[in-house]
Amino acid sequence: MKKLILLIAIISFMISCKSKTNSSNTDTSTNTTKSNVSGKTPTGSVYKTLNGVDQKTALDMITHFDTSFYNKQKLPQLNFWFGLEVLRDIVTLIRNDSVSQIKANHHVDGIRIYYAASLDTPSKFSILLVTTVDSVGDSLHRDYYLHSSERLFTDTGIAGNVFKRGQCPGANLYNWKLGGFIDDITCNFKDHPHYIKRHMGRKMVKAFGSDVVNTRGEWFPKDLFEDAVNDSRCDGIRIYFAKHPPKGNIDTIFNNRDAFVIVTTKEDKKNKFNHKDYFDCNTFQESVSKYSGHDLFSAGEDNGGLCPNNCN
């Protein structure tokens, strides 16, 4: 079943952000798939997440989050930034995986983002990006970790950067008191299921951490990442911890559920090391047009996105 997409579409405004470390103390749909590592790793291959964590460690982090934090503890408001070069390498890897997976009658269809927690004390909260294949017959999204040893896994920025609220002025959705910005009137949100309005994104980001975390992860189609790479303005993406409002969602299954909000960023002309969110309806037009006619989609949501409700 296709999953919930949360991407912001609005007017851009200028604020920047400096990089920090790649995890934070205080963090999948989540089918914690059994390790597919059996015997020796094939020559020229690795078992890793798309942000560079080996499969065994990733599964341990997912399990630790599930047993120690899921439905037990509040998490801090965090966001994670991944640069354009990493995104390009991810898209290239997925395209190459698609060729080999098709031979096995599988089709790479997206990326599952997990909440995760390190095993040290205190735990550091993070996210894991895991590729999925369509199971064809039942339209499930199954995790896989086996990839060829490509450029992505030597990229120094593969782990991304994590920021707490207040540490990253370019993370515009934290600036909920900032006035003077309106939703892009050119956006038709009813027909663009991958977008939510800026004010809703700000509301969701603000609400995160108000209660114990009640979601394990969320699935996103690969086309969204391809569209981001193809946008000449984009220098990366920011992934926010977020929470749906307690009511008013198209599908009540999402009421009060934690989730992720993804925003594209662009370089600050005054400081190339700063990355600021920008919002409009242009970046993801191609993927929107592919999915907008799907029966499962409704405005801003597509039925079946969050785990534990839908974990496959």
Q: What is the pLDDT along the chain (312 residues), one digit of tens a residue?
A: 333 333 433 222 223 344 444 455 543 333 444 444 344 566 678 999 999 999 999 999 999 999 999 999 999 999 999 999 999 999 999 998 887 766 566 788 889 999 999 999 999 999 999 999 886 666 678 899 999 888 999 999 999 999 998 888 788 888 766 554 556 666 666 655 567 778 888 889 999 999 999 999 998 888 889 988 998 999 999 999 999 988 877 677 788 999 999 999 998 887 777 898 887 776 665 554 444 333 232 223 333 356 665 555
**pTM of the model as a whole:** 0.81
Instruction: Evaluate whether residue 64 is within a structural domain.
Output: yes
Backbone angles phi, psi at 57, to 5 degrees: -65, -40
Token pair recorded at residue 114: 């997990």
Instruction: Evaluate whether residue 234 is within a structural domain.
Output: yes
Instruction: Evaluate whether residue 220 is within a structural domain.
Output: yes
Token pair recorded at residue 239: 């992934």
Neighbours of 203 (CB within 10 A): 17
Range of the domain at 208: 7-32+42-306
Instruction: Evaluate whether residue 1 is within a structural domain.
Output: no
Quick one: DSSP state of residue 200?
Answer: H
Instruction: Evaluate whether residue 2 is within a structural domain.
Output: no
Q: How far apart are CA 30 and CA 113, in angstroms?
A: 9
Per-residue CA distances from 28 to 3, 102, 214, 222 (Å) = 13, 26, 10, 17
When divided into structural domains, the chain yields a total of: 1
Q: How far apart are CA 285 and CA 29, in angstroms?
A: 25
Token pair recorded at residue 291: 């999915």
Instruction: Evaluate whether residue 232 is within a structural domain.
Output: yes
